[in-house]
């Protein structure tokens, strides 16, 4: 009999349930008997021993369900070695609970921070298999993460809806898309939604270039302009600051986010009305799109196969449309950024999209 622990950590997203279902259905269809221990609220459940036994019925009917049936929470990697408020050694507690339940493997679904901790547990001697979830699509070692395409669909629909009101009122509209450090979501949703200007964390913008792009549209007879702005977009001036200087500046920033700062500057320099729309956590919510349902199911099936074969220490990802296993040590601590010279960026510029650079 194999005893498998399972948890979802970090921010939630679509297709977490679909991925877990894929793992469990694969294991259930094998001849070997399996017990599934679901840890509640991410690593917190593993630390404090909060879990429940799961049966195949728990994974029935959840393919289309958003969120996670296990609950999730953020357990920052930078604090993982620090004792909690009661002096509990988090890493040691996770190891003890793993061994107390006589687990053969942990299946961990998460993004960058989650993978750092998963790799730490691997280094501590635990058997781990991970699945790449994040709407940011910024995990190293995989071309795609599940949750990303669903979020692109939602952000794109938001931009689509803005088009009608923007054209009716002749305004400049900014749609702020999630993405603190990377701009994959904003880039794809911006292109899909026909945004005129896209601002990304990886391509610092010049507000004068942004205004120039807006004025060109006005001169050509366009009554409106739509900007897709990543929440982590940064100006060229701010990009030159040290992390400490930038953090200090943001403490005194009167704007709730970068989009409102960009809006204020555009309005001042052009005299045009500017409105900001922030879809926020709606981008994480709702049912997974068909692509994510299929993709997460494939990843789950391959993870189940690795478990049955006793191959641990890998993230299951996708490369060139084929599912692959990637060593955890190659994934942990790395971000997959948008390359300013990437072909998709060059193609967007050929379409007339401005990046404010």
pLDDT in tens, 209-241: 999 999 999 999 888 999 999 999 999 998 888
| Catalytic member of 12, 136, 138, 292 | 136
Tally the C-alpha atoms within 13 A of residue 318's C-alpha that lie toward its C-beta. 19
End-to-end CA distance of the chain: 58
Cα separation, 151 vs 130, in Å, equals: 21
Tell me the C-alpha distance between 87 and 129, whole Å: 29
Q: Is 84 a catalytic residue?
A: no
Q: Do the beta carbons of residue 286 and residue 66 sit within 8 Å?
A: yes
| C-alpha distances in Å from residue 345, one per residue of 122, 184, 314, 340 | 37, 11, 31, 7
DSSP character at residue 286: S
- Reference 323, options 142, 129, 65; nearest CA is 142
User: Which pLDDT value is given to residue 170?
Assistant: 77
Rounded CA separation 249/181 (Å): 18
Q: Any idea how long the chain is? A: 357
Q: Does residue 89 register a pLDDT over 80? A: yes
DSSP H or E stretch at residue 155: helix 148-169
**Given this model, what pLDDT does residue 318 score?**
98
What is the reported pLDDT for 56? Answer: 85
Q: How many degrees, rounded to 5, is the angle at CA 265 between CA 243 and CA 217? A: 120
Pick 42 or 11 by higher pLDDT. 42
The model's confidence at residue 295, banded by pLDDT at 50, 70 and 90, is very high
State the pairing for strand pair 314-319/322-327.
Answer: antiparallel
**Nearest Cα to Cα of residue 148 among 203, 199, 190, 186:** 186
Structure tokens at 124: 């501590």
Q: How confident is the model at residue 169 (pLDDT cuts 50, 70, 90)?
A: confident
pLDDT interval class at 252 (50, 70, 90): confident
CA-closest candidate to residue 18, choices 297, 301, 306, 307: 297
pTM: 0.94
Tell me how far apart the alpha carbons of residues 353 and 196 are, in angstroms, rounded to a whole number. 5
As a whole number of angstroms, the distance between CA 171 and CA 151 comes to 26
Domains of the chain are 2-147+288-331 (3.40.50.450), 149-284 (3.40.50.460)
DSSP H/E element including 235: none
Q: How many helices and strands in the chain, by DSSP H and E?
A: 13, 11
271 membership: H or E segment, kind and range: none
Distance CA 262, CA 103 (A): 51
- 15: nearest Cα among 129, 106, 149: 149
Q: Distance (Å, rounded) from C-alpha 301 to C-alpha 182? A: 29
């Amino acid at each position: 009999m194999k005893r498998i622990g399972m948890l979802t950590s970090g921010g939630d997203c679509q297709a977490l349930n679909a991925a877990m279902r894929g793992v469990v259905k694969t294991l259930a269809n094998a001849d070997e008997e399996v017990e599934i221990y679901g840890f509640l609220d991410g690593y917190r459940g593993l630390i404090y021993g909060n879990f429940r036994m799961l049966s195949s019925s728990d994974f029935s009917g959840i393919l289309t369900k958003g969120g996670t049936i296990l609950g999730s929470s953020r357990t920052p990697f930078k604090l993982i070695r620090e004792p909690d408020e009661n002096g509990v050694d988090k890493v040691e507690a996770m190891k003890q609970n793993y061994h107390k339940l006589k687990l053969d493997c942990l299946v961990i679904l998460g993004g960058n921070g989650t993978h750092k901790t998963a790799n730490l547990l691997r280094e501590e001697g635990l058997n781990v298999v991970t699945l790449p979830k994040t709407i940011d699509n910024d995990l190293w070692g995989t071309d795609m993460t599940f949750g990303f395409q669903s979020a692109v669909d939602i952000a794109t629909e938001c931009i689509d809806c803005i088009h009608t009101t923007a054209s009716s009122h002749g305004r400049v509209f900014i749609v702020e898309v999630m993405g603190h450090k990377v701009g994959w979501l904003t880039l794809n949703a911006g292109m899909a939604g026909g945004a005129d200007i896209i601002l990304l964390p990886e391509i610092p913008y010049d507000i004068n270039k942004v205004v120039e792009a807006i004025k060109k549209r006005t001169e050509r007879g366009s009554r409106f302009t739509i900007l897709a702005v990543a929440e982590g977009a940064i100006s060229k001036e701010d990009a030159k600051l040290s992390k400490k200087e930038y953090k200090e500046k943001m403490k005194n920033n009167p704007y709730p986010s970068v989009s409102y700062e960009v809006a204020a500057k555009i309005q001042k320099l052009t005299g045009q009305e500017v409105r900001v729309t922030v879809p926020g956590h709606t981008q994480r919510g709702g049912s997974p799109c068909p692509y994510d349902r299929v993709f997460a199911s494939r990843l789950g099936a391959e993870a189940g196969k690795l478990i049955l074969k006793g191959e641990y220490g890998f993230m299951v990802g996708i490369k060139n449309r084929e599912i692959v296993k990637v060593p955890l040590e190659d994934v942990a601590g790395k971000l997959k950024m948008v390359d300013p010279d990437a072909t998709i960026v060059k193609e967007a510029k050929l379409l007339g999209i401005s990046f404010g650079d």
